[in-house]
């Protein structure tokens, strides 16, 4: 979902949005380094889980400001049996061209 508008009498264009990631229940594969293969392991089950991210982007002059919160609900989700989704994280950034 994304909302685009301008604030302060058209001087601040902004884009505000929400991303939702749903992971269904899964039975993962486990890597066995001795043989070099991923093997289906039915005893490793995880999910379902949902994560929600928020982001905002605004432009002030020639500078573009970014702000985001990933995994707002701090859900404990797994992408694979050994790769969990990050806990709640905050992101901030500025892109600014100094020379044309």
Q: What is the pLDDT of residues 25-72, one digit of tens each?
A: 887 777 788 998 888 777 777 888 899 999 999 999 889 999 999 999
Q: Is the pLDDT of residue 17 over 90?
A: yes
* CA–CA–CA angle 22, 43, 83 (5° rounding): 45
d(CA 44, CA 29): 8
| pLDDT number for residue 18 | 97
Q: Which residues pair with 32 in a beta bridge?
A: 37
Confidence of residue 20 (pLDDT cuts 50, 70, 90): very high
* Best CA proximity match to 55, nearest among 88, 91, 82: 91
- What is the band of 100 on the pLDDT scale with cuts at 50, 70, 90? low
Strand boundaries in the chain, DSSP class E: 2-7, 12-23, 26-32, 37-46, 49-60, 63-70, 78-80, 83-84, 89-96
């Amino acid at each position: 979902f994304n909302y685009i508008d301008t604030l302060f009498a058209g001087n601040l264009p902004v884009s505000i949005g929400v991303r939702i990631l749903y992971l269904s229940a899964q039975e993962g594969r486990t890597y066995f380094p001795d043989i070099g293969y991923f093997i289906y392991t039915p005893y490793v089950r995880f999910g379902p889980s949902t994560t929600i991210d928020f982001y905002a982007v605004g432009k002030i002059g020639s500078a573009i400001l970014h702000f985001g919160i990933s995994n707002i609900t701090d859900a404990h989700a797994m992408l694979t049996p050994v790769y969990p989704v990050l806990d709640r994280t905050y992101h901030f950034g500025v892109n600014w061209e100094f020379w044309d």
